[in-house]
Amino acid sequence: MQAGSGLPIAGDGGNSLVWFRPSICLVAARLRRSPREPKPFMWLAIKRELRDLLSLWLVPGLAAVLPWRWCLRLYWRLAASPLLMREEVAGSRGGRELLGLPRHDVQFDRRFRFGFLLEHADVFRALGRGWRGLAATMPLTGDTAADRSGGLCYFFNFNQGLPALATLRAAGFQVHLVYRSLDSRPPGVGLVRYAYMRLRLHMVAVVCGNRGIGTGGARERIARTIADGGLVCVAADTPPRPNTGLVSVRFPGERQAWWRSGILKLALQLEGPRRCFNVHLDWATRQRALELIDLPGSQDLGALVSILNEEFLSALERQPELWFYWPGPQGFFQFPEGARLD
């Protein structure tokens, strides 16, 4: 959702995969060092900044003032244009091919763009209409009389995370997000995109009503937050990293893949309910709904992983176009150096 998620709202930094593009400053510095290099490099960097301005600010920004039903119609029309999300769409094609989907699919491309337009528009909807106005774009389905006590709540990186947090808060939960902090502009990220990233992190705090929980030594803060009645939301589908614990999961085609195990093992050590949420996007109406699922309280890590894996596969089959990790799914199939199987 998800970070990212992509919110950068996912537990491993969320939507960081789609943020990396050459910035004007980096390219300009390189041109100053090498004055004989052709000026088109500067022009390419400027074009990227202008595309980011269009895709991240101008078009999504309309959600701050327009009725939401107008936004859905407008964004669906604009999603047919290859001018929007050009690099994101191109970057997703290798991942689709890797998992057995067609590399070139006009409908997939349009839905992929639409999902990201909604993801960015959610920021401005919250800015213009407040967190309650954002929650209204994603009603909660299922048992609305369920217990509102704290605990761990897993999600998967299918973007659409910001309104999900708003909806949970509107339902009476004290929502806290686990995310990677943004201390400085990452290498290769342009100024326009970095400004958007900063705004998005700010709006996550506005929507949740708190600053959330940054990754890195977060276990104690997660435990304390849950003990105080907070609902801690964290991504389950996080790709492997060196020197971390991993669990085995299934991907489409019965391919073996790996998720990081730390946040999954933590559930066995903490008191309180376990939940996960799924976002459903109806492609016929373009309306979204949030499903909140209660998970069993088993102390078996394998059982918890199996349930979450099935929920993930169901979401990936239902709405593959919304998955955040299409630019790099191969990372899930690699067992890094120093990693261990839990």
pLDDT of residue 2: 44
Mean pLDDT of 180-191: 88
Q: Which of 13-17, 217-221, 237-241 has the lowest mean pLDDT?
A: 13-17
Q: Which of 31-45, 156-170, 226-240 has the lowest mean pLDDT?
A: 31-45
Does residue 29 carry a pLDDT above 50?
A: no
* Spatial separation of the C-alpha atoms in residues 328 and 331, rounded to whole Å: 6
Looking at the DSSP bridge assignments, the partners of residue 293 are: 276
pLDDT of residue 31: 36
Task: Find, among 229, 240, 234, 199, the residue nearest to 308 by Cα.
Answer: 234
pLDDT of residue 188: 83
Positive or negative: CA dihedral 104, 110, 115, 118: positive
Furthest C-alpha separation in the chain: 68
Does residue 138 carry a pLDDT above 50?
A: yes
- The mean of the pLDDT values for the chain is 88
The reply to whether omega before 6 is within 30° of 0 (cis) is yes
- Burial tier of 219 (Cβ tally within 10 Å: 0-12, 13-18, 19+): middle
Q: How confident is the model at residue 42 (pLDDT cuts 50, 70, 90)?
A: confident
- For 125-156, letters b (16+ CB in 10 Å) and e give bbbebebebbbbbbebeeeeeeeeebbbbbbb
Q: How confident is the model at residue 182 (pLDDT cuts 50, 70, 90)?
A: confident
pLDDT by residue (tens digit) across 1-24? 444 434 433 444 444 333 333 333
pTM of the predicted structure, to 2 decimals:
0.88
Between the alpha carbon of residue 97 and those of residues 14, 45, 90, 276, 319, the distances in Å are 22, 29, 12, 29, 16
Name residues whose C-beta falls within 8 Å of residue 41's C-beta, 6 or more positions apart in sequence: 27, 30, 31
